Amino acid sequence: MSEGASVLAELLTAGDVVVLSGAGISTESGIPDYRGPSGTLSRHSPMTYQTFVGDPAARRRYWARSYVGWRAIGRALPNSGHHAVARLQQRGLVAGIVTQNVDGLHQLGGARAVVELHGSLHHVVCLDCGDSTSREELDRRLTEVNLRFGARATAVNPDGDVDLRDEEIDAFQIVGCRACDGGVLKPDVVFFGETVPATRVRECFALVERARLLLVLGSSLTVMSGRRFVLHAAKLGIPVAIVNQGPTRGDLYASLAIDAPLGTVLPELVRLVATHAGA
């Protein structure tokens, strides 16, 4: 393992680490990212909030594609990187976890008190009455009204949808909110063009302000949604360490940057931290 990993392990042993994770930590679970080595932006345009709200045809397209994609997202399992973060938290070294991911894999991997910056695909909200339900319940309802829908996924996108033919989308039936008899249902995630709830942003800033180290895992930090926490840490003089495949827009502010797969680096960090602690 590189000298950088040893240096990072020493930083971790001081504790009070806040983790900021991005899509790169989930790629080894079969969920691609947008901009990394498996990035999908070159072939896939994510749904925007404005389009989803304003275009019924776009909503049908989204739910048809997401219905198929959910088969992959719902079955995805945490990988060694997720488990490693959970182990560092269990050792009392990670004080908080902020994830830009919507897949829930940190929690499945054993992590607790995870702030899901962009929400979760595991929940659905009604835009009319605010009622919240599980994605599993919606999936059962969609299955009931689409018994003959036989579309299959070829490759899942980071936001949980897949590419389908127009005729497959046209055959798909959507359902409305049960609580208010027909309200528009939306996955409880922050779409492109949508604003992260202010209370959630404040919670993340507060975590960063109490940190001894901000550890960025698997994020290119291309969008301000995540990069602002790196900028905030740098402004406060809080060290920033980054582990990612490829350069990031936060490298300028990092005291340490490691370019390597997280599934390799993170388990080794757990081992090195245990060695430093004499475990």
Question: Residue 201: enclosing H or E segment and its boundaries?
Answer: helix 198-209
Q: How far is CA 185 from CA 125, 144, 239, in A?
A: 6, 17, 41
> Which amino acid type is present at position 80?
S
Confidence of residue 36 (pLDDT cuts 50, 70, 90): low
Domains of the chain, each with CATH number or no CATH? 1-31+78-118+196-279 (3.40.50.1220), 40-75+123-189 (3.30.1600)
Residue 3 scores a pLDDT above 70: yes
- Known binding residue 35? Answer is yes
Q: What is the pLDDT of residues 42-63, one digit of tens each?
A: 445 789 999 999 999 999 999 9
Q: What is the pLDDT of residues 140-160, one digit of tens each?
A: 999 999 999 988 776 777 667
**Residues 6+ positions from 123 with CB-CB distance below 8 Å:** 132, 133, 134, 135, 187, 188
- Mean pLDDT over each residue of the chain, to the nearest integer: 92
Q: Which tokens in the block code for residue 111?
A: 């992590």
Residues annotated as part of the active site: 118
- Known binding residue 146? Answer is no
Q: How far is CA 188 from the centre of its chain?
A: 13
Beta strand extents in the chain (DSSP E only): 17-21, 94-99, 114-116, 119-126, 132-134, 185-189, 213-217, 240-244, 256-259
- Known binding residue 244? Answer is yes
Q: What is the pLDDT of residues 63-83, one digit of tens each?
A: 999 999 998 888 899 999 999
Reference 65, options 146, 126, 181; nearest CA is 146
Which string of b and e fits 223-239 if b means at least 16 CB within 10 Å?
Answer: eebbbebbbebbeeebb
- Known binding residue 110? Answer is no
Reference 244, options 36, 1, 28; nearest CA is 36
φ/ψ of 157, rounded to 5, equals -95, 165
